[in-house]
Structures are given as C-alpha cells and as structure tokens.
Chains A and B, each alone.
Chain A
Amino acid sequence: MQPQSHRFVEAAREAVNDQRLRKALGNMKAGFQNKRAATIAKLPEFQDLREEGRQLKNHVLANLDAYLERFEAKVEESGGTVHWARTAGEAREAVAAICRAAGARTVTKGKSMVAEEIGLNEHLIAQGFTPIETDLGEYIIQLRGELPSHIIAPAIHLNREDVEETFRAHHTELDPKRQLIEVPDFTNEARLILRRRFQEADVGITGANFLIAETGSTIIVTNEGNGDLTQNLPRVHVVVTSIDKVIPTLEDVSTLLRLLARSATGQEFSAYTTLSTGPKRPGDLDGPDEFHVVLVDNGRSALLGTEAQDVLRCIRCGACMNHCPVYGAIGGHAYGWVVPGPIGAALDPGIIGVEEAHHLPNASTFCGKCAEVCPMKIPLPKIMHYWRVKEFESKVQPARYRRGIGFWAFFARRPRLYRLGARLGMGLLGRLGRRRGRFRSLPLAGAWTRYRDFPAPEGGTFMARYRQSGKSGR
C-alpha cells in the first residue's frame, strides 16, 4: 500500500477532531496502560529482564548473518524451505510463487505487520488468489478496507458500533434481527464465518514473533488461536517475517516471551504460543505438507551500524504507542503507514524513506515515555533525533524551518546582538501585554495563539536587570 505519511499534518488534524476515534483511544489507553502496570508490578525482576533482552538482541544484531544462516540450515533439516527476500517486491513474488505452485485459491492469513508492509494482500488478489484475514481485528479492517492502526490491536480505532455496522453490512447471510451487542456476540459471529474459510484454505500465511536458530522453529503468539488454524489446516504453511526476528535458542526466546505479553496487553502470557518446526512428519496426525519461511529485509540490514540500529531490537509489543501522548491524541492511521507510534517514527524513515516519513520523527516532544516503557530499552527519542539530523543535512525539512533556526542561531551565537534584540523585543511585548498580561493573538505567533493565549513577558530581560540591579533584581 502506498504510504500516506507525507499527509501527516492534515491526517492528524482530522484525527484530533474525530470524536469517535477519541473515545476509542481513551478506552485503549485505560486498558493497555493500566493492565501493563498491574502485571509488571507483580514481577520484581521486570527491569532486569529488560536489560537481559537488550543485551540478547544486541548480540544477535552483531551476528545477524550467522544466526540467520543457522536458522536456515535447521529449517531445511526439518524439511522446510527458506526464501531470502531483499525487497518487498521479492517477498511478494516469493509468496505468490508458493501459492501458484500449490494451485491455491483461498489463502488464510494470521496477523503479520510485515505482510502489510510488503503489500501482500493486494499482490495476491492481483495474482488471482483470495486472501482472508483471520485475526479478528485484521478481519474487521479487511472488510472495511482500512489499514491497521496499531501493531497488535489493528482495529483499536473502532468502537463496537463501528464493528456492528461492518458485520451487518457484510454478513448478509445471517439473520438481520440478531443481537450484536456484547463482545461474545461479535467473536462468535466471526468464528462462524471464519470457520468455513479455515477449512477451505489451500495455503496459510502467518507472521512470526520470533525465529529460533537453534531449532529452525518459528513462533506465533495469539489470543484467538486463529494462527494455529491458519497454519495447521492448509496443505502449505508460509511464514512471512522480517530478518530481525531471529533469536539464538529456546531459552533466549523464553526471556523475550516474559517481556512480550506483559508489555503488550498486561497478560503474563498470551493464550496461545505456538512453535512450528518444518512440515508434517511421517506419523504426525496433522500439519502442513510444506513449510516455507520468507525472510524479508526491506531496508533493515541497511540500519545495522547506524544510529538507528536499535530499532531492530523491537519485539512488536506496542507498549510505546499505548503510552505515547501523540499517538493517544491522533491514533495510528494519521501516521500513514503500517507501523505507527514511536516505533514507527523511529523505523519508518529507514523503510519508506526519510522524505516520505519526514513528519513522523518530528511529531514528538521527546517526552521519553516510550523509551521508559519499551521492554527492549530502545532509545526511541534518540533514534527520532537521528532522523531529524539526517533530514536537516539532506534539506528535507521545509526551507522556512531551516531559515527560522538559522536566523535564531545567528543571534544566539552573538550574545551582544542577542541581548540588544531581546531587550527591545521583550520590552515592547512587555509594554503591549502589561494591561491584560497576555495576548489573544500576535503577529508571527499564529500557530501558538490559534489555541492558546500568549503570556506577556515581564518586560525587562533577566540579563539586563541583573546588570542593573544585581542579584536581588530589584
């Protein structure tokens, strides 16, 4: 799908005025934030686990090639096939080729951000296949033709009324007088519709939360069990995954699993944690006949060795966006691409380019809450800052910002001129503002005064008064 991140400012403005979105985001914040806090309060070693996770992933990233090759060897040993995709295009084509070879028509899909990133569904449809999302949130937004707005809760931007509207519009074979009020009403209906699809599928595509080099296994973590039905029922199981997911051993993965669910939803563990190792073996009662892993790079290896490398430690928990006040104000769609929130601001410029994504690392106050809650200790504001430097150097930022900062810096670097300008400017503003103490509007300050009054300065600058009256200022 074409990134819309360049539209960020307009999209954000629409989002802050969207009352339904605001309600949905309010629920999200209360849910995810409180649940996470409650669960990690019960785990005294949580901070130690974060440090262990950080060191573990750093070690992997320093040896990424070796671990990926080991993973490949183990997958092949267990009868699977690994496909290396440098670009989104190569990844799409690899999946389509597998589906073609399998003579597939219906393809079920578990939730995969990477599959969204490479635009897999559009490509499969164009190639004549029918992809069906099975994760409930992804299924709902597929019906609505929307993008996910959150990496673990793709339909978080919707209220129950929105979902009811969508189900009634699309599930026309069901009784129009049926009740759709409580959560079980929705999940049972989705289950009914999807059950048939699961059984029809020729190919099942899932993502992977982790890849285990030691055993050649992939892991998915779900609460609905849709991943299991997606990968076990069809003849062919395809895992689409990014290269940064590989972890050395099962033991290592257990460390990350202890961090993941707690950080994401406040569960100690998700309902289903499923490992897949190769296709069905002789004697196995069920399982796919073919097991494929498509490893997607799409710009990630280029981040190694740069100041943005640490984004590759991400385990896709979503804690950063759950706690981000900017995401909390605008939701995920305003970011205009698959990965929103602070991790999006740190990652997307590396994937879709600095120019397309330039607003994302700028639309942050660097409050640091994201870094505080990230289970992998990713220094998200620091990485956003790195992209800002890159933008400034490559002149991606609008000229008026560069000129504005250049103008300001000219004075800030020349104390005597600065003092003179400050005394004059603040003196004038102080005099003008003395009566009311503030300005409702002010030339050149429209962006401020659109929503806030501008407090008047006291009038004399500190440095001028200090020179005149010394330390008392009187």
Chain B
Amino acid sequence: MPTSQTRPTSTPRVGLFVTCLVDLFRPSVGFAAIALLERAGCTVEVPPSQTCCGQPAWNTGDVKDTRAIAEAVIEAFEGYDFVVAPSGSCAGMLKEHYPRLFVDDPAWAPRAAHLAARTHELVSFLVDQRGLERVEDVALSAQVTYHDSCSGLRELGVKAQPRRLLASIPGLSLTEMSTPETCCGFGGTFCVKYPDISNRMVADKTADITATGADTLLAGDLGCLLNMAGKLKREGSAIAARHVAEVLAGRLDVPPIGDAPPR
C-alpha cells in the first residue's frame, strides 16, 4: 500500500467519467469527485461528448447500440493517464465489459484494453493509486452505515478503501449493516422490469440499514442510492442518503438524496 513517502509525485491527467446518473440527478457528486482528485494531485478534465457508459443497452442485450456508445467513450477518453468514475458499475462496465464487446475486433480490441487498463472507480483510485490515507478539512458528526455496491465490490474490489477514508473524518462513526454486501435490488432496468422482486430486496436492505441506528447512508453508486433513498423516504425514514464522494470532499451544501432543501 503506497504511503505518503511513496506517493507518486507526478501530476496525472485524469479524464472524469461523470456517469449519466450523476450528470442527470446529482451533479454535486461530479464536482465532489473533481475536488477530491485535484486535492490528490491530479489535473482533471471532463471530455464534453460523454453521455453514458452504455449499460442500459448492454443489460438489455442490445450489443449494437452498446458498441456504438462504447466506441464514442473509448475515443473521448484516449490520451488521459487515468479515467475515473464515481461509480463502481460504470467503471466496471468500461473495465470488464468493454473488452468483451470488442474481443473479435482487431482494430478496437487494443483500444478497449487500453481504456480498461486506465479506468478506476473513484475512491479505490484515490486510495490504491494515489496513496490517499485520510481526507483533510472535513469534519462531520454523523453515524454512518456503508452499502457495498455489487459491481464495485465484486468486479473492482472496492471494500476497504471508502471505510479507510471515512475513518479519518472526525466526528464520524461507522456501523456496519448485518449484510452490507447484499444487493439493494436496483440492477438498472431490473428495478422497473421486476418491481415486486426489487421491492422485496430494497425493503430487506432498508430494514438492515435502519437496524444499524445510523442517521446517514453512504455508498459509491448513485443507482443504488436513488433506489435505497427512494425506499427510505417512502417508509418515512429520516435517514440521510449521500454519495460517499460528497462526504469525503466535505461538499454537504446540497440536501441529501430525496430530501427537500432546508427552508
């Protein structure tokens, strides 16, 4: 594990992969990501032609549209030292699934592999690549619980890194759910194609969250968060849901997900 002594002294150029959900629903997460990356010594650019990683088409079995979108992403992000996304599922799409899309294409396969090699989820990038051990200038009095989003956990090994950084925040205590690694039931199109099953899964998850006694729910994927926050609100819960990047960057001026702005 890199320490501050071995922290890379170079200033890598990072292309931020915003993700469609952050772009559409919660831009603050994107700005929090930029702040964190800059504080970790990176220069950050946002290629303007990006829209989405293509998962909706991919999960529907629509290979043709996925390829078209993937080619645009590969092109837009060529030239950056790293490609970082505040989402395990989007980073996983670029890293694990793009190479499969182009496995039979001698022109695109190396380009997809090159993108995959440079792609990271945000928090694991900060800790594993930039050697970040703590976040500075952030204090938050909160009892937090952390949901491990499936793709980040199982495709990219995101588990200890967010907990490590959260542990460095004065005032913040973390209580684990009994099953933080169990799927929340979002699954992209799954939650609207099979709403009854998805509801059972998210209801089990919110029961687990509530049982921790936490006042704040954090995770690294906005899809999961919209799903869990939506259920918590429907249940009348006062638990605040945020993307972990917002907390790590100390950008708490935006209300929690699904909450109204204070009057």
Q: What residues make up the interface of A, taking CB atoms closer than 8 Å to B? A: 9, 12-13, 16, 325-326, 329-330, 362-369, 371-372, 385, 388-393, 397, 401-402, 405-406, 408-409, 411-413, 415, 418, 422, 425-426, 434-438, 440, 445, 447-448, 450-458, 460-463, 465-467, 471-474
Whether A438 touches B258, Cβ cut-off 8 Å, given contacts A412-B54, A455-B230, A473-B31, is: yes
User: Closest CB-CB distance, B225 to chain A, in whole Å?
Assistant: 8
Residue among B35, B63, B68, B154 making CB contact with A367, cutoff 8 Å = B154
User: Closest CB-CB distance, A425 to chain B, in whole Å?
Assistant: 8
Q: A16 to B196, Cβ gap below 8 A?
A: yes
18 chain-A/chain-B pairs, Cβ below 8 angstroms: A13-B196, A16-B197, A329-B197, A365-B187, A385-B58, A388-B60, A389-B61, A401-B60, A401-B189, A438-B230, A448-B230, A451-B199, A452-B233, A452-B234, A453-B230, A453-B233, A455-B233, A462-B31
**Stretch among B4-12, B42-50, B135-143, B161-169 lining the A interface:** B42-50
A-contact 0/1 string along B24-35, CB 8 Å cutoff: 111110110011
Q: B233 to A447, Cβ gap below 8 A?
A: no
Residue among A385, A455, A472 making CB contact with B61, cutoff 8 Å = A385
Residue among A9, A391, A411, A413 making CB contact with B194, cutoff 8 Å = A9
Residue among A363, A415, A474 making CB contact with B50, cutoff 8 Å = A415
Q: B23 to A462, Cβ gap below 8 A?
A: yes
Q: B68 to A437, Cβ gap below 8 A?
A: no
Q: A366 to B192, Cβ gap below 8 A?
A: no
- Tell me whether B105 is interfacial, beta carbon within 8 Å: no
Chain A residues near B23 (CB-CB < 8 A)? 422, 461-463
Residue among B54, B201, B202, B257 making CB contact with A326, cutoff 8 Å = B201
Chain B residues near A466 (CB-CB < 8 A)? 27, 30, 46
Q: B182 to A325, Cβ gap below 8 A?
A: yes
Chain A residues near B52 (CB-CB < 8 A)? 412
Chain A residues near B65 (CB-CB < 8 A)? 405-406, 409, 412-413
Whether A415 touches B51, Cβ cut-off 8 Å, given contacts A388-B60, A462-B22, is: yes
- Tell me whether B174 is interfacial, beta carbon within 8 Å: no
Q: B260 to A437, Cβ gap below 8 A?
A: yes
Which residues 50-70 of B sit at the A interface, judged by CB distance below 8 A?
Answer: 50-52, 54, 56-63, 65, 68-69
Chain B residues near A9 (CB-CB < 8 A)? 194, 196
- Pick the 6 closest A-B CB pairs, nearest first: A365-B187, A392-B61, A452-B230, A473-B31, A388-B61, A462-B27
User: Closest CB-CB distance, A72 to chain B, in whole Å?
Assistant: 37
Q: B56 to A461, Cβ gap below 8 A?
A: no
Q: Is the interface of B mostly helix, strand, loop or mixed?
A: helix
Q: A329 to B31, Cβ gap below 8 A?
A: no
* Complexed CA–CA distance, A450 and B191 (Å): 11
Residue among B49, B59, B195, B259 making CB contact with A437, cutoff 8 Å = B259
- Tell me whether B247 is interfacial, beta carbon within 8 Å: no
Q: Is the interface of A mostly helix, strand, loop or mixed?
A: helix
A-contact 0/1 string along B148-165, CB 8 Å cutoff: 001100110000000000
* Complexed CA–CA distance, A342 and B120 (Å): 28
Q: B187 to A458, Cβ gap below 8 A?
A: no
Q: B60 to A392, Cβ gap below 8 A?
A: yes
- Tell me whether B254 is interfacial, beta carbon within 8 Å: yes
* Complexed CA–CA distance, A355 and B141 (Å): 54
- Tell me whether B109 is interfacial, beta carbon within 8 Å: no
Which residues 94-150 of B sit at the A interface, judged by CB distance below 8 A?
Answer: 150
Q: A388 to B59, Cβ gap below 8 A?
A: yes
Q: A422 to B24, Cβ gap below 8 A?
A: yes
The residue on A at minimum CB distance from B30 is A462
* Complexed CA–CA distance, A457 and B28 (Å): 11
Query: Max chain A CB contacts within 10 Å: which of B25, B63, B194, B204?
Result: B194
User: Closest CB-CB distance, A442 to chain B, in whole Å?
Assistant: 11
Q: A12 to B230, Cβ gap below 8 A?
A: no
Q: B197 to A372, Cβ gap below 8 A?
A: no
Chain A residues near B259 (CB-CB < 8 A)? 437-438
Q: A363 to B26, Cβ gap below 8 A?
A: no
User: Interface range on chain B: under 10, 10 to 19, 20 to 34, or 35 or more?
Assistant: 35 or more
* Complexed CA–CA distance, A320 and B258 (Å): 34
* Complexed CA–CA distance, A254 and B48 (Å): 57
Q: What 17 additional pairs, Cβ within 8 angstroms, besides A369-B154, A473-B27?
A: A367-B183, A369-B150, A385-B61, A389-B61, A405-B60, A405-B65, A409-B68, A422-B24, A440-B234, A448-B192, A453-B230, A453-B258, A455-B230, A458-B28, A461-B23, A462-B30, A473-B28
Chain B residues near A367 (CB-CB < 8 A)? 150, 154, 183, 187
User: Closest CB-CB distance, B209 to chain A, in whole Å?
Assistant: 14
The residue on A at minimum CB distance from B100 is A382
User: Closest CB-CB distance, A415 to chain B, in whole Å?
Assistant: 5
Chain A residues near B26 (CB-CB < 8 A)? 457-458
Chain A residues near B54 (CB-CB < 8 A)? 412
Query: Max chain A CB contacts within 10 Å: which of B18, B26, B62, B192?
Result: B62
Residue among B25, B34, B60, B63 making CB contact with A458, cutoff 8 Å = B25
User: Closest CB-CB distance, A424 to chain B, in whole Å?
Assistant: 12
Chain A residues near B198 (CB-CB < 8 A)? 451
Q: B258 to A437, Cβ gap below 8 A?
A: yes
Q: A389 to B63, Cβ gap below 8 A?
A: yes
* Complexed CA–CA distance, A306 and B69 (Å): 26
Chain B residues near A408 (CB-CB < 8 A)? 56-57
Chain B residues near A418 (CB-CB < 8 A)? 51
Query: Max chain A CB contacts within 10 Å: which of B24, B26, B49?
Result: B24
Whether A461 touches B27, Cβ cut-off 8 Å, given contacts A367-B150, A436-B260, A452-B234, is: yes
Q: A415 to B60, Cβ gap below 8 A?
A: no
Chain B residues near A405 (CB-CB < 8 A)? 56-57, 60, 62, 65
Chain B residues near A368 (CB-CB < 8 A)? 150-151, 154-155
Chain B residues near A434 (CB-CB < 8 A)? 260-261
Chain B residues near A409 (CB-CB < 8 A)? 56-57, 62, 65, 68-69
* Complexed CA–CA distance, A409 and B66 (Å): 8
Q: A460 to B27, Cβ gap below 8 A?
A: yes
Chain B residues near A391 (CB-CB < 8 A)? 61
A-contact 0/1 string along B69-85, CB 8 Å cutoff: 10010000000000000
* Complexed CA–CA distance, A224 and B80 (Å): 62
Chain A residues near B260 (CB-CB < 8 A)? 434-438
User: Closest CB-CB distance, A113 to chain B, in whole Å?
Assistant: 24
* Complexed CA–CA distance, A418 and B195 (Å): 27
Chain A residues near B27 (CB-CB < 8 A)? 458, 460-462, 465-466, 473
Chain A residues near B20 (CB-CB < 8 A)? 412
Q: B200 to A329, Cβ gap below 8 A?
A: yes
Chain A residues near B59 (CB-CB < 8 A)? 366, 385, 388
Whether A448 touches B195, Cβ cut-off 8 Å, given contacts A325-B183, A389-B63, is: yes
